[in-house]
Amino acid sequence: MDQLAPKHRLPDQPKEFGYFVDGLWKSREDRFERASPGHGVAVSRTVRCTLDDLNDAVSAARRAFENGFWADISGAERAGVLLRTAEIIKRRREEVAYWEVLENGKPISQALGEIEHCIACFETGAGAARALHGDSFNNLGKDLFGMVLREPIGVVGLITPWNFPFLILCERVPFILASGCTLVVKPSEVTSVTTLLLAEILEEAGLPRGAYNVVTGSGRTIGQAMTEHHDIDMISFTGSTAVGRACVHAAADSNFKKLGLELGGKNPIIVFADADLDSAADAAAFGISFNTGQCCVSSSRLIVEVKVANEFEKLLAAKMQKIVVGDPLDPTTQVGAITTEAQNKTILDYIEKGKSAGAKVLVGGAKFDHEGGQYIQPTLFTGVTRDMAIATDEIFGPVLSSFTFETADEAVQIANDTVYGLAASLWTSDVSKALSVTRRVRAGRFWVNTIMAGGPEMPLGGFKQSGWGREAGVYGVEEYTQIKSVHVDLAKRQPWIS
Ligand code: NAP
């Protein structure tokens, strides 16, 4: 720690944060204290909000929606606020990245990279605010003209997870705001700070009061109450498939609010023998280790053509051994800490399950303690069979299971052998094979000869039990609108009663 710049040291004492409703910072005695997963040192104290606080936040968002100061202004004016937000994030990027590291445990270099993407999300949201439009029908006959209006859906409840607290927030907020909606956000209790920082940033950028509210607290209290709330028009939920299912029940039992669900994944990376194997191995190492594998689009199932499988697994193991795991505040670290104690235990339990089921650990397979933090070596299992827990379950950790195939049909079949359908990566030098396999694997995001590439212009979302709807870009904005069909009679209407 001694060689770190002062701003990258741990805070002397945990910093206190309020919650943000109707443009005002509020506080309560009841607080949640968060320790940095990389160091075991208390860093933040956020409010445990009550259900009354949530109701206040929803009322504020409703008033801000109805008064039209946001929903009724032009797309150009909304774009102005979003562009100013991007500029302020640029100015505060070090501070935001620092809090991401302290609460999540991700490496500082990665956190800074993610913030570049967040800035791009606000810039893209600004463009989308100006581009949003409806449609018209000029083919309804001489006397009838049809217009399709896109209107903001209203008050959105946004529930985000702890793995990418700021990035997932920024992949949604600009597009929600671009549509003209107002929102109430509930971040994961363990990573709330950067969602609160965004409130300061949006306020400075000129967002009208009440349009962005943050209520902190646990998922079981505040999160669940949001999904059951009768005055929230839509929930955008990102998290586990189990809680996503609970959101569906809660929406059905309350006001039939619309749901956007971004859920889990067990994503394949398919490597054909004709691929650039060195590059594919580098991508596979990155795909399972990025964000310590606590990533919905982690490529956690390697599906490699049998004739190069041994060579490829050795190449991959050698690369994984070189990954620098450790203190997330160290700028040279590539893989940081596991974010929560519960997740640390879950990952270690899966590693044990893999070993006892007979899979072979080629690299990693163990935890290590470092400066009071919780860390796990990126792990590669070979000899995995499709019935093992490490083959079927989303582990949400740096644990990669390797399978082999002989034909493209078999590769597709293994890739689709999951309840999930979030993302996939494919490596081959044959374009026809690449396109043919891409069309047959059921996943919402696909990378050919690359991995986790993309920009906020491209939609995000899953097939099967990985979710409903799409976030980001023009597709993302449209999710937060509803369509009104308007019929205009251009002549005198024929009377019904003569
Ligand atoms: P989680 O337990 O489902 O929690 C996600 C969010 O929901 C948190 O804010 C949590 O609050 C809240 N929550 C918990 N119980 C709730 C309930 N009954 N009703 C409403 N909200 C509730 O998921 P996680 O463990 O944080 O995140 C990991 C999961 O997210 C993985 O499955 C991963 O694949 C998925 N994920 C998906 C995407 C995607 O884009 N598809 C992206 C990232 C993550 P608290 O944390 O405060 O309890």
Task: Catalogue all structural domains in the chain, each as residue range(s) with its CATH number.
Answer: 6-263+466-484 (3.40.605.10), 267-448 (3.40.309.10)
Q: Which atom of ligand 1 is nearest to the CA of 466?
A: 41
219 lines ligand 1 (CB under 6 A): yes
- Identify the band that residue 62 occupies on the pLDDT scale cut at 50, 70 and 90: very high
Q: Could you tell me what percent of the chain has a pLDDT over 70?
A: 98
61 lines ligand 1 (CB under 6 A): no
In ligand 1, which atom is closest to the CA atom of 164? 43
Residues β-bridged to residue 235: 157, 259
Q: Check pLDDT > 50 for residue 269.
A: yes
Q: Answer yes or no: is the C-beta of 394 below 6 A from any ligand 1 atom.
A: yes
Q: Which of 34, 162, 172, 229 to mutate to test the pocket of ligand 1 (most atoms within 8 A of CB)?
A: 162
Q: What is the percent of the chain where pLDDT is above 90?
A: 95
Q: Distance, CA 237 to ligand 1 centroid (Å)?
A: 8
Dist. CA 473–CA 117, nearest whole Å:
13
Average pLDDT over residues 51-71: 97
Average pLDDT over residues 455-462: 96
Kindly state the average pLDDT of the residues 121-139. Answer: 97
The predicted model gives 468-482 an average pLDDT of 96
Residue 468 has pLDDT above 60, yes or no: yes
Give per-residue pLDDT as tens, 275-292: 999 999 999 999 999 999
The residues annotated with a catalytic role in the active site are 262, 296
Question: Distance (Å, rounded) from C-alpha 78 to C-alpha 152?
Answer: 13
Instruction: Please count the other Cβ atoms lying within 10 Å of the Cβ belonging to residue 324.
Output: 11
Determine the pLDDT at residue 370.
Answer: 79
Q: Whose CA is nearest to atom 36 of ligand 1?
A: 239
Residue 2 pLDDT class (50, 70, 90 cuts): very low
Q: 265 in ligand 1 pocket by Cβ < 6 Å?
A: yes
Residue 336's pLDDT is 96
Q: What value does the mean pLDDT take over residues 128-154? A: 97
Ligand 1 centre to CA of 397 (Å) is 15
- Rounded to an integer, what distance in angstroms lies between the CA atom of residue 492 and that of residue 396? 63
Determine whether the shortest distance from the Cβ of 413 to ligand 1 is under 6 A: no
240, 346, 471: which to mutate for ligand 1, most atoms within 8 A of CB? 240
**Tell me, what's the pLDDT at 3?**
41
Query: Is 244 near ligand 1, meaning CB less than 6 Å away?
Result: no
Q: Give the burial class of 319: count Cβ atoms within 10 A of its Cβ; 0-12 exposed, 13-18 middle, 19 or more buried.
A: buried
Instruction: Report the nearest atom of ligand 1 relative to the CA of 159.
Output: 9
Report, as an integer, the average pLDDT of 362-387: 92
This prediction's pTM: 0.96
8 A C-beta contact, residue 81 and residue 177 = yes
Q: Which tens digits make up the pLDDT trace of 289-315?
A: 999 999 999 999 999 999 999 999 999
pLDDT, tens digit, 9 for 90 and up, residues 386-441: 999 999 999 999 999 999 999 999 999 999 999 999 999 999 999 999 999 999 99
Four-residue CA torsion sign, 223, 228, 230, 236: positive
160 lines ligand 1 (CB under 6 A): yes
Mean pLDDT of 340-363: 96
Query: How many A from CA of 238 to the centre of ligand 1?
Result: 6
Mean pLDDT of 22-30: 97
Amino acid at 401: S
For residues 42-69, average pLDDT: 97
**96-110, 188-202, 367-381: segment of lowest average pLDDT:** 367-381
Residue 408 alpha carbon to ligand 1 centre in Å: 34
How would residue 4 be classed by pLDDT, with cut points 50, 70 and 90? Answer: very low
262 lines ligand 1 (CB under 6 A): yes
Interval between CA 328 and ligand 1 midpoint (Å): 23
CA distance 137 to 109: 51
Nearest atom in ligand 1 to 241's CA: 32
What is the structure's pLDDT at 493? 87
> What is the rounded CA–CA span in Å between residue 192 and residue 100?
9
pLDDT for residue 277: 98
Does ligand 1 lie within 6 Å of residue 296's CB atom? yes
Mean pLDDT of the chain: 96
Q: Is the CB of 438 under 6 A from ligand 1?
A: no
Ligand 1 atom showing the smallest separation from residue 243 Cα: 3
What confidence score (pLDDT) does residue 8 get?
65
